[in-house]
Amino acid sequence: MTTPREIEIVGGGLAGLALGLGLRRAGVAATVWEAGSYPRHRVCGEFITGLGEGTIARLGLAPLLADAGRLRNVEWFFHGRAIRRQRLPAPALALSRHALDARLADAFTAAGGRLVTGSRVDPAGTPEGRVFATGRRRSKGSPWLGLKLHVRGLRLTSELEFHLGDDAYVGLCPVEGGRVNVCGLFRQRADVTGNRETVLPAYLRAAGLGALAARLAEAEICPESCSAVAGVSFDRSGPPPDGRPNLGDTFAMIPPFTGNGMAMALQSAELALDPLLAWVRGERAWAETERAIHSALRKKFARRLAVADAAHPFLHSPPRQRWLAAAARLGLVPLRPLYHLLH
């Protein structure tokens, strides 16, 4: 009698847990290995755009997203000055990673999945049936720093705010519990210092976003939410030389201004499901399964990653920001076509 095949998932973020949940819904034994624990705060814009109802249904996410905020109105700012309002073609789903990761972990274990926290897996000698969803790639040579915190008592000018500053952009999004998530990407600066609660406001002031820093000073910062990640890399070079299946940010990280990183993580889980189920049923070899997963990911994400990479310099480079701001005021930036290209 043949022993039933199982799937091991290294990394218990959005992609890993969503894949585990999808596998369990299909009756497949699945283990998720996670180095951290739940709940936890992560550097993240904490709103999801471009996630289709089909993906939500396939992965069983509807109950987990039922109370997420539905946001459509965006206001763009350049150095504190409003330059453009935008209405999203479809609502963005707003929910903190603190809540969503914990809900996914609970749903996975309730479905019979095995979740092992506080444990790291050696990537060497990867066996068949193991996939990786270990999160964003980091590079020592990358100049990018991600910072995030939650505040209470901050009144927004729109459902979503997006601020451009010198070598920086910052998004503001309401999440559960009356909090606002403030998350930014900054070019690292040796002259900016601070502790967990003060470093993000310090970077805002250094980026010419003093008005936004002043608004934060009048609000209540939630200390436990303060998070940072250095060496953020937007590498879309494709699969690693060993060909192992990589999902979510481990496959490729899209620049955060798109609001599409969380959706891509969940979509990558859905894309991996059918190849993995075929392997579990003995219908294809593992090497073929690896190729099928990477082919599906490249086909789904290649265009949006290329467009995001081309647009990214206009969001952080001061000279290009000025051009973008002027074009936005004149209504020359095709926001709706860009949205569809990026999602």
- pLDDT for 3 equals 64
Which two tokens mark 215? 């608004």
CA proximity to 270, closest of 54, 102, 6, 33: 54
- pLDDT for 56 equals 96
Strands 81-94 and 47-48: antiparallel
Strands 69-78 and 160-165: parallel
Q: What is the pTM of this model?
A: 0.92
- pLDDT for 266 equals 96
Cβ neighbour number for residue 58 with a 10 Å cutoff: 18
CA proximity to 202, closest of 193, 215, 212: 193
CA proximity to 79, closest of 335, 333, 326: 326
- pLDDT for 141 equals 74
- pLDDT for 314 equals 79
Q: How far apart are CA 323 and CA 307, in angstroms?
A: 18
Q: What is the CATH number of domain 7-69+95-137+235-315+330-342?
A: 3.50.50.60
H-state helical runs in the chain: 14-25, 53-59, 62-65, 97-110, 199-206, 210-217, 261-280, 286-316, 318-329, 335-342
Which two tokens mark 98? 């603190």
Q: How far apart are CA 19 and CA 265, in angstroms?
A: 10
Mean pLDDT per 10-residue segment, the chain (343 residues): 80 95 96 92 92 94 96 94 92 95 97 93 83 78 90 96 94 96 94 92 96 96 94 62 76 82 94 97 94 94 89 81 79 76 76
Beta bridge partners of 147: 184, 228
- pLDDT for 301 equals 92
The answer for residues whose C-beta is within 8 angstroms of residue 125's C-beta and 6 or more apart is none
